[in-house]
Amino acid sequence: MNSSFAVTLDEEFRPASQLRTLYYIYLLLGVLIGVLPWFVPLVLYMPQVSDNVRLFIIFLLLLPLLVVLGFIGYWIYRYYGTIRYKLTNDEVEWRRGVWFQQSGIAPYNRITNIDTIQGPISRMLGIAALRIHTAGYSAQQAQAEIRMNGIEHFEPLRALIMAYIKKKKPTAVETYAAEEIEAPTGTGAIVQELVRIRELLERSERK
């Protein structure tokens, strides 16, 4: 485990190595819960056959399972190595993905809340996830979210991000101010149009 918290502005940092351990524990729990309950009874109550046939059947059952587990274990190792986070003066950046790369940003002036998520296993490993809520970018997307997994010093990192947020003016305030300034201009144009319509109606009545 890292003994100190150090995040440099504009430099990428990785999640704690305990995150990879957490993924492997989840994989082990998946085997214990999803495989053993049906695999053990199947082997114990197998029809009476010779030992060679029994071993061959067990091998046929284990082979695809071992292939899948090996693939998932390799994917976890590769996936952990692709996770990167970065703090800049204006936003939080992230990227990850083994075969399909994903990346995103969360501008400080759009962040509305930061939650800390820590399950029992994560607590035992000394890590947590920060879930960053942001204001939506469109009417169809009312809310966006970024999740920073495997953070060891999560409280100092959360405090650091919140400090940057406080320095930025929220986008919602800026939008409201712009609309408030432009409102009289739009209202004046409508009034002028109504006056013109009334003048045209008066002229038509005189004729």
The per-residue DSSP string of 40-108 comes to HHHHHT--S--HHHHHHHHHHHHHHHHHHHHHHHHHHHHHHHH-EEEE-SSEEEEEE-SSS-EEEEEEG
DSSP annotation of 3 reads: S
Counting the structural domains of the chain, the total is 1
Q: Positive or negative CA dihedral for 33, 38, 41, 42?
A: negative
Q: Is 69 part of any domain?
A: yes
Structural domain boundaries, residue 117? 18-167
Q: Is 133 part of any domain?
A: yes
Q: Is 144 part of any domain?
A: yes
pLDDT digits (tens, 9 = 90+) for 152-192: 999 999 999 999 999 877 665 444 444 444 444 555 666 66
pLDDT digits (tens, 9 = 90+) for 32-54: 999 888 888 887 887 777 878 88
Q: Is 86 part of any domain?
A: yes
Residue 25's pLDDT is: 97
Q: Is 9 part of any domain?
A: no
For the residues 7-17, what does the mean pLDDT come to? 91
Please answer whether residues 86 and 92 qualify as being in contact, where contact means their C-beta atoms are separated by less than 8 angstroms: yes
pTM higher than the cut 0.85: no
Please answer whether residues 20 and 77 qualify as being in contact, where contact means their C-beta atoms are separated by less than 8 angstroms: yes
Q: What is the CATH number of the domain that holds 52?
A: 2.30.29
How far apart CA 168 and CA 173 sit, in angstroms, is: 11
CB atoms under 10 Å from CB of 56, counted, come to 12
